[in-house]
């Protein structure tokens, strides 16, 4: 088994690492205190090709593989969670869903401008009264001729006020039994009459990011904007989560690394009892644990990236990676604050922000408790990886890195 990265993967990793070191880390603390998103971040990520890093070139992307996507998310969250959240919703939850489930017309119309960063995208599943219990959502999309009339409200939506395109899951049949059979997915644009958005303030973490709500009042959605077939909304939502959870897990791995690297540096500089605290046994213990957690999370994410590249269903493996990496990012942040002592309790150093940011990922895209139940159900045989109608595409360099004209012979 070869764990080495190829040249393309290393170059993408280096590019994002340098971008974060020069343009994000020096100022992210200020934006976090303001509780505002740096308006230059999304355009800059688009300019560098990050927003479409693992989308085929023919659809406006960079054509890199899924392992590269994980490496990029790790580097982004090493700088700040808000940047990885952008990748989770824009790339993982929305763009990859259109790549997997969309028609050719939908890919050209919606995916290509998203991959180029000309349009930003969000994912609308959670509601004020429906989180882990997806089937209890109340949003409806009732068909009237060649349109669906969409009504409802989605909550805790990242990029809610920034996005141009929303992937919305709603019930086309509120009386379906079981309930998830009556769900469908739609691509909704922010300029459709009846779409309103707003920001949520006062969050514990991810303060330099955009989180909000999206409301739909009698929004007329053309039938050609439905993603997949009628009734496939739940399947599509679950496939979206497979993609998004991989980015979350990879990002949390980066947060563990941030805690480790910052703690090592500080422990070598800070002295107590006449010597650097790096020489104290209990500090060494914390560093050793962080190293163990990082390597384990990294390897779990690499396995998922490998499976995704091969086109192999990875719901179970992605769930485990997301659960482990996010849980241990919280533990790493707690240990980092302890290493920094009183200074870790203030925003003079970034570990305070790491701790606040880490908490969100054990809640969104499946709580830690949900993932525990999933893993147990797999072990007992109560749950199995049933194939979807539309599996995520395997990574094929010849296709992903080729222009459409080359395939067509033009």
Q: State how far the Cα of 107 lies from the Cα of 101, in Å rounded to an integer.
A: 9
Q: Could you tell me the CA-to-CA distances from 189 to 101, 149, 162 in Å, in that order? A: 18, 14, 12
Beta 275-276 vs 211-222: how paired, if at all?
A: unpaired
Cα angle for residues 51, 55, 58 (degrees, 5° grid): 120
Torsion of CA 353, 354, 357, 359, to 10 degrees: -120
Q: What is the token pair recorded at 46?
A: 């688009």
Neighbours of 140 (CB within 10 A): 17
Q: State how far the Cα of 399 lies from the Cα of 408, in Å rounded to an integer.
A: 12
Contact 75, 22 (CB under 8 A): no
What is residue 392's DSSP assignment?
P
Beta 226-227 vs 271-272: how paired, if at all?
A: unpaired
Q: State how far the Cα of 125 lies from the Cα of 44, in Å rounded to an integer.
A: 28
CA-wise closest residue to 162 among 94, 209, 124: 209
Which distant-in-sequence residues (6+ apart) come within 8 Å of 386 by Cβ?
none
Q: State how far the Cα of 10 lies from the Cα of 314, in Å rounded to an integer.
A: 24
Contact 360, 328 (CB under 8 A): no
Q: What is the token pair recorded at 24?
A: 């994000």
Q: What is the token pair recorded at 395?
A: 């990574």
Length of the chain: 410
Cα angle for residues 264, 337, 262 (degrees, 5° grid): 25
Q: What is the largest CA-CA distance in the chain?
A: 79
Residues noted as catalytic: 365
| Dihedral (CA of 287, 289, 295, 300) sign | negative
């Amino acid at each position: 088994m070869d764990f080495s990265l190829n040249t393309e993967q290393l170059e993408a990793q280096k590019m994002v690492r340098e971008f974060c070191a020069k343009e994000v880390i020096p100022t992210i603390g200020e934006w976090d205190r303001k509780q505002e998103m740096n308006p230059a971040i999304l355009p800059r990520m688009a300019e560098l090709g990050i927003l479409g890093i693992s989308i085929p070139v023919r659809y406006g992307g960079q054509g890199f593989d899924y392992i590269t996507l994980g490496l990029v998310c790790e580097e982004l969250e090493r700088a700040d969670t808000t940047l990885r959240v952008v990748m989770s919703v824009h790339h993982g939850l929305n763009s990859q869903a259109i790549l997997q489930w969309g028609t050719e017309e939908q890919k050209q119309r919606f995916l290509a401008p998203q991959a180029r960063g000309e349009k930003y995208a969000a994912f609308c599943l959670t509601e004020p009264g429906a989180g882990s219990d997806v089937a209890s959502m109340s949003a409806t999309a009732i068909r009237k001729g060649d349109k669906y009339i969409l009504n409802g409200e989605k909550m805790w939506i990242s990029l809610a006020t920034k996005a141009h395109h929303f992937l919305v899951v709603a019930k086309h049949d509120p009386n379906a039994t079981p309930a998830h059979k009556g769900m469908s997915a739609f691509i909704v644009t922010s300029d459709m009459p009846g779409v309103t958005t707003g920001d949520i303030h006062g969050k514990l973490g991810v303060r330099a990011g955009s989180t909000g709500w999206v409301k739909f009042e009698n929004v007329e959605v053309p039938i050609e904007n439905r993603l997949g077939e009628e009734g496939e909304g739940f399947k599509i939502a679950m496939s979206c989560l497979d993609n998004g959870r991989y980015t979350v897990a990879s990002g949390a791995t980066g947060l563990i690394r941030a805690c480790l690297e910052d703690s090592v540096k500080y422990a070598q500089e800070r002295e107590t009892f006449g010597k650097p605290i790096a020489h104290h046994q209990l500090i060494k213990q914390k560093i050793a644990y962080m190293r163990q957690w990082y390597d384990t999370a990294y390897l779990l994410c690499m396995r998922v990236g490998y499976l995704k590249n091969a086109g192999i269903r990875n719901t179970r493996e992605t769930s485990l990676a997301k659960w482990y990496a996010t849980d241990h990012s919280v533990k790493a942040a707690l240990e980092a604050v302890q290493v920094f002592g009183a200074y870790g309790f203030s925003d003079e150093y970034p570990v305070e922000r790491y701790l606040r940011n880490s908490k969100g990922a054990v809640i969104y895209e499946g709580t830690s408790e949900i993932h525990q139940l999933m893993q147990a159900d797999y072990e007992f045989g109560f749950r199995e990886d049933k194939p979807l109608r539309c599996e995520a595409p395997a990574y094929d360099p010849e296709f992903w890195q080729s222009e459409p004209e080359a395939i067509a012979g033009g």
